[in-house]
């Protein structure tokens, strides 16, 4: 389906980019469409580019990812990827272009533009009631971009140290501003404020999700992000509350017993979901998606399951293992005895039903509702595991560990595990020291709990343009 939208040349201020500052003197260059009516802003929010390529820097940082001699050659000459695999804090060389960072602030800038200007937009052939809805969507999109950015580029939010510096937080369009870093507490509070205001503006009767453009939010989308943000902040009761509300609005799950490969002799050709060969190729068609963002389209550059992570799977019955593992890369390279991760299509780092259910289960376990946590986990796993025997709750610690393990399996390939391990450390949970041997050099590298290797430094090219971003 073709989606008609206006591409507005709203570029990120030179404060946040690594391009020539002169390119950013005009917010609305000549020859571009200048929004003047509500429809123009609606079209701007319909631009699907916002969903693409989120968190690509993080792919090899995930401790569950393993690179053997056989596959390491695929990244060996890529300085950013090899730095990530070494858990370096600074990935980029002096003139390197950090596309993750640039795009986060590009879309934050776009949201700020909409919020500043939509009040003056003509109604045109729309109704006035659309104005607050579009404003609410812009607030929600800004919040989602900040949530991704603060987790990639900052230490995790610590309620005992909310003043720790994080990232810049522009809330208006000012192309000459050179902002310093705001604190983690200020960033998270702004995210919550934006989401709460967005819910007020779009209203409770707005659709739960946007079925035709799921990179735009519905009410379940915003509630799901509120749940995830509160989970990350350690506000577990609020996470239970918001995830319950979101699931009451939308809770679709695929039964993985009904998912197969299009061609069993070549799993890289993709999946058939209940006979539909298109359902998982594009995240816009995936009905488990609540609010779409994705990190990779396919995994043609391979990574392997870490042996410790692989050992968690019931390989005979877990359909996730069947569908997402192989010993042959897309190029035909044999990775045995290790297994290669496979996902044909867009791998979500957005909000999905399964992520929401795991957030609900974890938050319940952390608030003492172990039985409720296990019930939610069982509801998910009966759709993932053949001959599934439901778990029973024995104690909160055991239940929480089960949920953590299943979160790793369900979200593998998304790199979200790196955020999870970072937040577990702040909660006071036991997080191991991870160790890797770098194949080409034989060097041993480690990732200690709380290390800077859990998040990224801002690229030198950006710091050179705005020294105020230096710590």
Residue range 62-76, pLDDT digits in tens: 999 999 999 999 999
Residue range 226-241, pLDDT digits in tens: 999 999 999 999 999 9
| Cβ(112)–Cβ(10) below 8 Å | no
Q: CA–CA distance from 366 to each of 124, 298, 361, 376, 421 (Å)?
A: 50, 34, 9, 14, 16
- Beta-strand ranges (E) seen in 80-156 are none
Query: CATH for 1-67+92-215+454-471?
Result: 1.25.40.390
Cα–Cα distance for residue pair 45/266, rounded to 1 Å: 38
**Residue 460: in which H helix or E strand, if any?**
helix 460-465
Residue range 399-453, pLDDT digits in tens: 999 999 999 999 999 999 999 999 999 999 999 999 999 999 999 999 999 999 9
Cα–Cα distance for residue pair 186/179, rounded to 1 Å: 14
> Taking the C-alpha atoms of 86, 295, 90 and 154 in order, what is their torsion angle to the nearest 10 degrees?
-120
Q: CA–CA distance from 18 to each of 29, 102, 153, 308, 465 (Å)?
A: 19, 8, 16, 39, 7
| Residue 5 banded pLDDT, cuts 50, 70, 90 | very low
Residue 381's Cβ-count burial label (10 Å; 0-12, 13-18, 19+) is buried
Q: Phi first, then psi: what are they for 328, rounded to 5°?
A: -130, 125
| Residue 211 banded pLDDT, cuts 50, 70, 90 | very high
**Residue 110: in which H helix or E strand, if any?**
helix 99-117
pTM across the whole model = 0.93
Q: Domain ranges in the chain?
A: 1-67+92-215+454-471, 257-287+299-344
Residues 6+ apart with CB under 8 A from 230: 192, 236, 238, 239, 242, 363
Residue 132's Cβ-count burial label (10 Å; 0-12, 13-18, 19+) is middle
Candidates 145, 92, 136, 101; CA nearest to 118 is: 136
Calculate mean pLDDT across residues 206-215: 96
Confidence at residue 138, expressed as pLDDT on a 0 to 100 scale? 98
Confidence at residue 296, expressed as pLDDT on a 0 to 100 scale? 84
């Amino acid at each position: 389906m073709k989606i008609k939208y206006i591409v507005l040349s709203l570029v990120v201020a030179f404060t946040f980019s690594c391009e020539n500052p002169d390119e950013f003197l005009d917010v609305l260059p000549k020859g571009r469409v200048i929004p003047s009516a509500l429809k123009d802003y609606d079209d701007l929010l319909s631009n699907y580019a916002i969903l693409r390529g989120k968190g690509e820097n993080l792919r090899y940082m995930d401790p569950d990812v393993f690179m053997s001699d056989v596959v390491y050659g695929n990244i060996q000459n890529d300085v950013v990827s090899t730095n990530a695999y070494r858990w370096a804090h600074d990935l980029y060389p002096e003139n390197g272009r950090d596309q993750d960072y640039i795009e986060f602030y590009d879309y934050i800038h776009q949201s700020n533009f909409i919020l500043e200007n939509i009040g003056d937009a003509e109604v045109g052939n729309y109704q006035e009631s659309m104005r607050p809805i579009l404003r609410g969507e812009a607030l929600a999109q800004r919040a989602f971009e900040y949530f991704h950015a603060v987790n990639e580029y900052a230490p995790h939010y610590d309620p005992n140290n909310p003043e720790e510096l994080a990232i810049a937080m522009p809330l208006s369009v000012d192309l000459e501003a050179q902002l310093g870093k705001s604190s983690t507490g200020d960033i998270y509070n702004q995210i919550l404020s934006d989401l709460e205001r967005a819910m007020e503006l779009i209203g409770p009767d707005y659709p739960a999700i946007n079925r035709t453009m799921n990179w735009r939010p519905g009410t379940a989308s915003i509630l799901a992000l509120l749940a995830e943000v509160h989970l990350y902040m350690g506000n577990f009761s609020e996470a239970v509350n918001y995830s319950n509300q979101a699931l009451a609005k939308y809770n679709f799950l695929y039964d993985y017993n009904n998912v197969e490969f299009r061609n069993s002799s070549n799993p890289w050709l993709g999946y058939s979901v209940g006979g539909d060969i298109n359902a998982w190729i594009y995240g816009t068609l995936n009905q488990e998606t609540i609010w779409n963002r994705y990190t990779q389209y396919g995994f043609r550059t391979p990574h392997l399951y870490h042996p410790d992570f692989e050992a968690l799977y019931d390989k005979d019955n877990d359909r996730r293992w069947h569908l997402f593992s192989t010993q042959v890369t897309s190029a035909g390279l044999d990775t045995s005895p290790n297994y290669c991760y496979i996902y044909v299509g867009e791998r979500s780092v957005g909000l999905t039903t399964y992520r929401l259910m795991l957030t609900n289960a974890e938050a319940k376990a952390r608030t003492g509702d172990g039985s409720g946590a296990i019930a939610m986990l069982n509801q998910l796993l009966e759709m993932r595991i053949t001959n599934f025997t439901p778990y029973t709750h024995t104690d909160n610690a055991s239940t929480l560990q089960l949920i953590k393990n299943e979160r790793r399996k369900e979200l593998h390939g998304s790199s979200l595990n790196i955020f999870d391990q970072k937040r577990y450390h702040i909660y006071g949970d036991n997080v191991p020291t991870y160790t890797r041997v770098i194949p080409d050099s034989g060097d041993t590298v480690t990732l200690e709990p709380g290390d800077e290797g859990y998040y990224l430094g801002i690229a030198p090219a950006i710091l050179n343009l705005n020294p105020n971003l230096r710590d």
